[in-house]
């Protein structure tokens, strides 16, 4: 294992400065409890005016009029760390932000792609520079060792354990990230550098300063395994494309949309998942965003399908103002289970699976437009079926008399001068307990045009008839 440490000594300040319009003006970060707030970091311009870390806010304002004071925000710091971890993740699958102010990445496996190390390091430095983070980089066979070396000497790269021991020998104990209280105790014993610590008898060192010190030294030298919490990419896909011009037609949005859906598909393939629902946000100049929700019944991850679906929804949206930004947010990312198919299946060439066809129809006709019907055990005809959007469930059989194949959405008067009664009556009298009270006598009726109808009338009467279905 080879660990590279990107040490960010001014992370909190850089996080503010990199987004600041004029970073050359005096600026200071303020931290500490409310009544006694002190400066926690200052930029170069502020330092030149005499401001320094730990100074009370009142003193700083007296020294330098017009200094910009920014609150120290832990959440902002955490976001910056996550951002750096996500950025580093493209170079290595093992990234950790466990050590404060540092990003660690395992590079042994990445050297084949980005190496050799000097070139890899130059690329890292160039990108960090462009991102606006001051940094120190070191390479070592152990993670803590790399972090300690980065703080000691920028650009140091050691690849063997012996070289690591030699390089660490000159590091002062105060900078070796030793467990709490050990470093002052060692310096009181006139032990100034790690080299002197390594020379001390191990057993005595452990007895005097505790096992934690021995563990730490072992991990420093790469002799004990290191357990670091590794960075996991977030479970949300959020990508945005800024358009350089106002877009007024949905046709012109198709190209950025294709890029976004392709990115989403690549992201989904990387985490072996699918997407069940995503939102397209069309950003306008000075209006709230237009949201286009693309919902799917089954997880999907084919770039072509995702693009077609998003396009179908987008083309139906009336956008009120020119579009400046296009953003795609996907939060529901369930596991993707590819449909099992037969190896030798005789199918037409351009065959589309039913789920894909269903999504295509829903995209144009509306979310509610494709469904199935399941029977329900209820004698009232209007309640004897229910919509099904997903998988059918086994339904109870509950038939007594003849039932028509067509049911009218609601009964209408049967307009026929002389209907002929073929069967009936079948009395349906139920529902008094749930408010849908029904008392009807149903007949099978033949109309004068030869149609078979299912009609009802009030109990005990022979008309007028209400038509409720056709025996088609």
Partner 1 sequence: MGALVSLDTLLADRRLWRGQPTARPASVEPTGHAALDAALPAGGWPESALVEVLLPADGLGELRLVLPTLARHTGAGRDIALVAPPYVPNPLAWRAAGVDTARLHLVSADARDALWATEQCLRAGCLSAVLCWPQKADDRALRRLQVAAESGQALVFAFRDARAAAQPSPAALRLQLAPGQLQVLKCRGGLAPAQPVPFPLH
Q: CB-wise, 295 or 375, nearer to partner 1? A: 375
Output b/e per residue, 335-349; b: 16+ Cβ within 10 A: ebeeeeeeeeeeeee
Cis peptide bond prior to 377, omega within 30° of 0: no
Part in contact with partner 1 (CB under 8 A); list of ranges 185-193, 227-235, 255-263, 378-386: 378-386
Q: Is 451 in the site for partner 1 (CB under 8 A)?
A: yes
- Distance between CA atoms of 335 and 331, rounded to whole angstroms? 13
- The strand pair at 95-96 and 102-106 is best described as antiparallel
Q: Which helix (H) or strand (E) holds 465?
A: none
* 251 or 350: CB nearest partner 1: 350
Residue 22 within binding range of partner 1, rule CB under 8 A: no
Applying CB under 8 A, which part among 52-60, 100-108, 194-202, 384-392 lies near partner 1?
384-392
Q: Which listed residue (75, 343, 449, 460) binds partner 1 by CB under 8 A?
A: 449
Task: Please report whether residue 358 would count as binding partner 1 according to CB under 8 A.
Answer: yes
- The dihedral over CA atoms of 148, 151, 157, 161, expressed in degrees to the nearest 10, equals -10
In the list 39, 150, 182, 453, the residue contacting partner 1 (rule: CB under 8 A) is 453
Cβ proximity to partner 1: between 263 and 382 the closer is: 382
Shortest distance in whole angstroms from residue 367 CB to partner 1: 11
Q: What is the DSSP letter of 273?
A: B
Question: Applying CB under 8 A, which part among 282-290, 310-318, 381-389, 434-442 lies near partner 1?
Answer: 381-389
Stretch of 141-149, 274-282, 329-337, 345-353 lying at the interface with partner 1 (CB under 8 A): 345-353
For residue 357, state whether it binds partner 1 (rule: CB under 8 A).
yes
Minimum distance, C-beta of residue 400 to partner 1, in the bound complex (Å): 10
Q: What is the CA radius of gyration of the chain?
A: 36
Q: Which stretch binds partner 1 (CB under 8 A): 77-85, 144-152, 296-304, 448-456?
A: 448-456
- Tell me how far the alpha carbon of residue 461 is from its chain's centroid: 65
The answer to whether the beta carbons of residues 408 and 469 sit under 8 Å apart is: yes
Taking the CB of residue 238, how many other CB atoms lie within 10 A of it? 13
Residue 123, interface with partner 1 (CB under 8 A)? no
Residues from 388 through 417 that contact partner 1 (CB under 8 A): 391-392, 395, 397-399, 403-409
Which residue in the set 201, 348, 417, 460 belongs to the binding site for partner 1 (CB under 8 A)? 348
Q: Which residue number, 81 or 362, has a Cβ lying nearer to partner 1?
A: 362
3-state secondary structure of 381: helix
- Of the candidate spans 232-240, 343-351, 434-442, 457-465, the one that interacts with partner 1 by CB under 8 A turns out to be 343-351
Q: How far is the CB of 444 from partner 1 (least distance, A)?
A: 9
Query: Are 259 and 241 in contact, with CB atoms under 8 Å apart?
Result: yes
Phi, psi of 96 (to 5 degrees): -135, 140
**Alpha-carbon span 176 to 374, nearest angstrom:** 70
- Which of 197, 231, 185, 227 has the alpha carbon at shortest distance from 93? 231
Distances (CA, A) of 220 to 63, 146, 204, 213, 321: 43, 8, 19, 10, 59
**The only residue of 122, 211, 266, 361 in contact with partner 1, by rule CB under 8 A:** 361
Residue of 431, 449, 318 whose CA lies nearest to 379: 431
x-or-dash pattern for partner 1, window 159-188, by CB under 8 A?
Answer: ------------------------------
Report in angstroms how near the CB of residue 354 gets to partner 1 at its nearest. 5
- Tell me how far apart the terminal alpha carbons of the chain are, to the nearest angstrom: 75
Binding residue (CB under 8 A) for partner 1 from 25, 374, 429, 434: 374
Query: ∠222-6-236 over CA atoms, to 5°?
Result: 105
User: Site for partner 1 (CB under 8 A): which residue of 26, 256, 381, 425?
Assistant: 381
**Is 148 within 8 Å of 171 (Cβ atoms)?**
yes
Which chain residues interact with partner 1 by CB under 8 A?
Answer: 347-348, 350-354, 356-358, 360-361, 364-365, 368-375, 381, 384-385, 391-392, 395, 397-399, 403-409, 446-447, 449-453, 469-472
């Amino acid at each position: 294992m080879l660990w590279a440490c990107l040490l960010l000594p001014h992370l909190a300040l850089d996080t503010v400065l990199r987004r600041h319009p004029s970073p050359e003006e005096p600026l200071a970060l303020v931290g500490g409890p409310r009544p006694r707030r002190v400066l926690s970091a200052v930029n170069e311009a502020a330092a030149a005016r005499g401001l320094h870390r730990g100074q009370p806010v009142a003193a700083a304002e007296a020294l330098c009029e017009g200094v910009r004071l920014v609150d120290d925000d832990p959440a902002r710091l955490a976001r910056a760390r996550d951002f750096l971890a996500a950025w580093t993740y493209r170079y290595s699958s093992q990234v950790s932000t466990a050590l404060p102010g540092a990003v660690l990445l395992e590079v042994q496996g990445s050297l084949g792609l980005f190496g050799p190390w000097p070139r890899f390091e130059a690329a890292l430095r160039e990108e960090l520079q462009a991102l606006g983070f001051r940094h120190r980089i070191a390479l070592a066979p152990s993670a803590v060792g790399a972090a300690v070396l980065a703080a000691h000497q920028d650009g140091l790269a050691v690849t063997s354990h012996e070289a690591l021991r030699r390089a660490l020998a000159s590091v002062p104990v105060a900078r070796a990230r030793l467990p709490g209280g050990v470093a002052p105790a060692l310096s009181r014993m006139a032990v100034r550098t790690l080299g002197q610590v390594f020379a001390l008898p191990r057993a005595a060192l452990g007895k005097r300063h505790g096992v934690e010190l021995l563990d730490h030294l072992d991990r420093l030298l790469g002799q004990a395994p290191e357990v670091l919490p590794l960075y996991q990419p977030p479970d949300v896909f959020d990508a945005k494309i800024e358009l350089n011009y106002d877009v007024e037609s949905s046709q012109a949005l198709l190209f950025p949309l294709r890029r976004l859906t392709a990115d989403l598909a690549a992201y989904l393939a990387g985490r072996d998942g699918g997407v069940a629902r995503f939102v397209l946000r069309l950003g306008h100049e000075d209006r709230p965003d237009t949201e286009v929700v693309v919902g799917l019944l089954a997880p999907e991850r084919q770039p072509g399908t995702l693009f077609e679906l998003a396009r179908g929804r987008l083309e139906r949206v009336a956008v009120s103002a020119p579009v400046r930004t296009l953003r795609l947010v996907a939060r529901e990312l369930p596991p993707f289970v590819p449909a099992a198919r037969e190896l030798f299946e005789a199918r037409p060439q351009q065959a589309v699976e039913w789920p894909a066809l269903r999504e295509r129809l829903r995209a144009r006709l509306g979310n509610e437009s494709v469904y199935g019907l399941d029977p329900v055990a209820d004698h009232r005809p209007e309640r004897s079926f229910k919509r099904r959007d997903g998988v059918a469930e086994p339904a109870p059989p509950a038939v007594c008399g003849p039932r028509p194949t067509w049911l009218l959405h609601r009964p209408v008067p049967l307009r026929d001068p002389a209907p002929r009664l073929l069967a009936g009556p079948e009395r349906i009298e139920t529902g008094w307990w749930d408010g849908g009270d029904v008392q009807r006598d149903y007949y099978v009726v033949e109309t004068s045009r030869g149609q078979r109808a299912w009609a009802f009338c009030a109990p005990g009467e022979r008309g007028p008839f209400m038509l409720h279905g056709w025996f088609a």
